[in-house]
Amino acid sequence: EAGVTQSPRYAVLQEGQAVSFWCDPISGHDTLYWYQQPRDQGPQLLVYFRDEAVIDNSQLPSDRFSAVRPKGTNSTLKIQSAKQGDTATYLCASSPLGQQDTQYFGPGTRLLVL
Amino acid sequence: GDSVTQTEGPVTVSESESLIINCTYSATSIAYPNLFWYVRYPGEGLQLLLKVITAGQKGSSRGFEATYNKETTSFHLQKASVQESDSAVYYCALGDTNAYKVIFGKGTHLHVLP
């Protein structure tokens, strides 16, 4: 069984630039999560989906961040006008129906905003 | 609020020594929290090490053990004899199945000396 895949693995931006992160969850997993993990911190939930629906995006900075999962499979997280404070690793995770709190993580995308 | 506090690292031990990484939690909005230890080995993604969903029960994996203590709100990770291959970052986490929510601690870097 293939794991959660993410791309790109690394990104370096200047402040004000935009960037998109892509996630392919484990096949059949209905729930998909995006986390932000600053250096020396634990992962912090940004948004999660059940199928194509957003369940909770209350921690997503909505003025610059957006996330979609149009067909209930792959997902894209986008940052418009990145700031230095967005420097972090962005993790995608998925979980199967009925095991929502057992999450399978991708390798992450390390973002550096200069 | 809901939170997890764990031993601040880095923690350095020699091979074959015993290990304990402390974890305490606060679950003010979660009636029946599930408790987890996740691990990230060098160059790999975050992965579940062990999970316990019932207070008083013990979970174990790869020689590690943790007991869910509701009275002391603790979930300490222990191993009797560590190996160099256990060098990794360990995250204690608190989950709410009903809300699809997992809250992570900041992580503890473990270095095992040969």
Which residues does B26 contact at the CB level (< 8 Å), separation at least 6? B1, B2, B3, B4, B73
Give me the pLDDT at residue A25, please: 96
Q: What span, in angstroms and rounded, lies between the C-alpha atoms of B112 and A65?
A: 39
> Is A113 in contact with A15 (CB distance < 8 Å)?
yes
| Mean pLDDT of all residues in A63-80 | 94
> Under an 8 A CB cutoff, do B100 and A4 touch?
no
Chain A residue with minimal CA distance to B94? A101
Give me the pLDDT at residue B9, please: 86
Chain A residue numbers touching B36 (CB-CB < 8 A): 101-102
How distant, in Å, are the alpha carbons of A16, B7, B102 from that of B105? Answer: 31, 9, 10
Give me the pLDDT at residue B28, please: 86
Q: Please tell me which residue, A78 or B45, carries the higher pLDDT value.
A: A78
* Residue A34 clears pLDDT 70, i.e. is over it: yes
Backbone phi and psi for residue A9, each to the nearest 5 degrees, phi listed first = -85, -30
pLDDT in tens, B42-53: 988 899 999 999
Chain B residue numbers touching A108 (CB-CB < 8 A): 45-46
Top residue of B102, B103, B108 to mutate, by most chain A CBs within 10 Å, is: B102
pLDDT in tens, B61-93: 999 999 999 999 999 999 999 999 999 999 999
* Residue A70 clears pLDDT 80, i.e. is over it: yes
Chain A residue with minimal CA distance to B43? A107
- Radius of gyration from C-alpha coordinates of chain A: 13
Listed residue (A80, A70, A75, A71) closest to A34, CA to CA: A75
**DSSP β-bridge partners for residue B101:** B96
Interchain CB contact of B45 with A (< 8 Å): yes
Q: What is the mean pLDDT of chain A?
A: 93
Confidence of residue A112 (pLDDT cuts 50, 70, 90): very high
Confidence of residue B99 (pLDDT cuts 50, 70, 90): low
Give me the pLDDT at residue A1, please: 65
* Residue A72 clears pLDDT 90, i.e. is over it: no
Q: What is the mean pLDDT of chain B?
A: 93
Give me the pLDDT at residue A47, please: 94
Candidates B95, B96, B104; nearest CB to A43: B104
**Contact residues of A toward B, CB < 8 A:** 3-4, 31, 33, 40-45, 48, 50, 55-56, 91, 93, 95, 100-108
* Residue A2 clears pLDDT 90, i.e. is over it: no
Burial A32-56 (b: 16+ CB within 10 A, else e): bbbbbbeeeebbebbbbbbeeeebb
Instruction: For the beta carbon of residue B57, count every other beta carbon within 10 angstroms.
Output: 11
Q: What span, in angstroms and rounded, lies between the C-alpha atoms of A81 and A64?
A: 7
| Mean pLDDT of all residues in B88-103 | 86
Chain A residue numbers touching B2 (CB-CB < 8 A): none
Backbone phi and psi for residue B60, each to the nearest 5 degrees, phi listed first = -150, 150
pLDDT in tens, A46-56: 999 999 999 98
% of chain A residues with pLDDT over 70:
99
Q: What span, in angstroms and rounded, lies between the C-alpha atoms of B4 and B25?
A: 4
Calculate ∠ Cα A6-B33-A44, nearest 5°: 35
Cα B107 to its chain centre, rounded Å, is: 9
Listed residue (A31, A6, A52) closest to A97, CA to CA: A31
Give me the pLDDT at residue A61, please: 86
Interchain CB contact of B3 with A (< 8 Å): no
Chain B residue numbers touching A40 (CB-CB < 8 A): 106-107
